[in-house]
């Protein structure tokens, strides 16, 4: 009896030791989660900086001076890939025999989405136009003033006030850009105006998006919102392209014949525009708002360094000092907002 018990216990102890060894070898769930989040952040950085550099390459270095058409390509890719993602999600729910969740949208919400799509479209077009005339480093310095425009427009549109300390932190945000502007050797007035316009439109989009996403009755997540906004932007951009850039199709055809890689660059650039939004959504979902803000500030600095290394645009001490002051102001702004809540 005892011998029989020994025979049955030996395999159990062996399997237990094997399981323990496997448990020791396998990464912990926390470590796996951190690794997954790090991968998402890396993908967000790569897609965001990649689309920025490709835009600059196409619009400036390559000589493809059609920013409205380029934006139309971006929005078309966002619309198509959003539809494909929705179709995959629907088929996955059908395979699991789950009821589809397709909430009805009111006319008021669709009108707000259309307005948001128009603002989004304007911000991307103006940003692409500015890249024709300004280096990426200065473009990012001006773009860092988004919190200033967000605070101003939040008060103007939604009557949302911030604490006095929060408004005080916006002083170095603006002062840094003023310093960077004075020390920018490649300054171009029209490009600067377009960059300011893009930044203000981006801030307005953030304010309107916050209002739309906070509605409990008609709640949308950011990726669903992109799926609604992108077709609106395409509808607006197609006629704008043919009015403002009439010879773009003949130019695209000619470039494709001369350089077949041009089409691949255009497709890659357009697809990255969607993945910027997708990875931003996933990083937002898997991190805290404070972490996202810190990562966003670091992303801008990384983009500046990478663009200088690639495009070799001249930079001055005053320019870098101004950008540093702006980034410091943005960090202080985030801290002040966190304390005021």
Between 293 and 14, name the one with better pLDDT. 293
Could you tell me the two tokens for 56? 């600059």
Q: Under a CB-based contact definition with an 8 Å cutoff, are residues 147 and 326 in contact?
A: no
Residue 12 confidence class, pLDDT cut points 50, 70, 90: very low
Please, which contacts does 206-211 make with residues 24 or more away whose CB atoms are closer than 8 Å?
A: 206/146, 206/150, 207/150, 207/153, 207/154, 207/157, 207/158, 208/112, 208/115, 208/116, 208/119, 208/157, 209/116, 211/112, 211/157, 211/158
pTM beyond 0.85, yes or no: no
Nearest residue to 145 via CA among 196, 210, 201: 196
Could you tell me the two tokens for 195? 């960059």
Using CA atoms, how far apart are residues 175 and 191, in angstroms rounded to an integer?
A: 19
Q: Give the C-alpha distances (Å, rounded to integers) separating 141 from 4, 174, 192, 307.
A: 77, 10, 11, 12
Using CA atoms, how far apart are residues 201 and 199, in angstroms rounded to an integer?
A: 5
Q: Which residues contact 5 (CB under 8 A, 6 or more apart)?
A: none
Nearest residue to 58 via CA among 118, 136, 120: 136
Residue 313 confidence class, pLDDT cut points 50, 70, 90: confident
| Length reported for the chain | 341
DSSP designation for 321: H
Percent of the chain with pLDDT over 70: 85
Encode pLDDT of 95-138 as tens digits.
776 655 555 566 777 788 888 889 999 999 999 999 999 999 99
Q: Under a CB-based contact definition with an 8 Å cutoff, are residues 198 and 143 in contact?
A: yes
Predicted pLDDT of residue 284: 80
Q: Under a CB-based contact definition with an 8 Å cutoff, are residues 172 and 332 in contact?
A: yes
Q: Give the C-alpha distances (Å, rounded to integers) separating 20 from 10, 27, 32.
A: 15, 13, 18
């Amino acid at each position: 009896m005892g011998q029989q018990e020994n025979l049955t216990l030996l395999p159990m102890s062996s399997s237990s030791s094997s399981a323990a060894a496997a448990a020791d070898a396998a990464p912990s769930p926390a470590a796996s989660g951190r690794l997954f989040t790090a991968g998402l952040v890396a993908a967000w950085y790569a897609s965001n900086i990649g689309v920025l550099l490709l835009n600059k390459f196409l619009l400036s270095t390559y000589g493809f001076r059609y920013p409205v058409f380029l934006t139309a390509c971006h929005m078309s890719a966002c619309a198509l890939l959003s539809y494909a993602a929705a179709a995959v999600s629907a088929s996955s729910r059908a395979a699991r025999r789950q009821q589809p969740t397709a909430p009805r949208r009111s006319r008021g919400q669709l009108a707000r989405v259309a307005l948001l799509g128009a603002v989004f479209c304007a911000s991307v077009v103006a940003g692409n136009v500015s890249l024709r005339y300004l280096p990426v480093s200065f473009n990012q310095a001006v773009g860092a003033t988004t919190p200033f425009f967000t605070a101003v427009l939040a008060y103007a549109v939604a009557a949302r006030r911030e604490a006095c300390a929060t408004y005080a932190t916006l002083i170095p945000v603006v002062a840094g850009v003023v310093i960077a502007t004075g020390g920018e050797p490649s300054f171009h007035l029209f490009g600067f105006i377009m960059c300011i316009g893009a930044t203000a439109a981006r801030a307005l989009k953030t304010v309107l998006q916050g209002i739309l996403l906070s509605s409990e009755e008609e709640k949308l997540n950011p990726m669903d919102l992109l799926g609604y906004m992108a077709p609106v932007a395409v509808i607006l951009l197609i006629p704008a392209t043919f009015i403002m850039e009439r010879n773009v199709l003949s130019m695209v055809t000619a470039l494709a014949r001369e350089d077949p890689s041009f089409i691949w660059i255009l497709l890659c650039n357009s697809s990255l525009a969607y993945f910027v939004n997708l990875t931003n959504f996933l990083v937002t979902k898997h991190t805290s708002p404070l972490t996202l803000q810190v990562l966003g500030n670091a992303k801008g600095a990384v983009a500046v360094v990478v663009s200088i290394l690639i495009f070799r645009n001249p930079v001055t001490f005053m320019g870098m000092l101004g950008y540093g002051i702006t980034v410091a102001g943005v960090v202080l702004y985030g801290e002040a907002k966190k304390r005021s809540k």
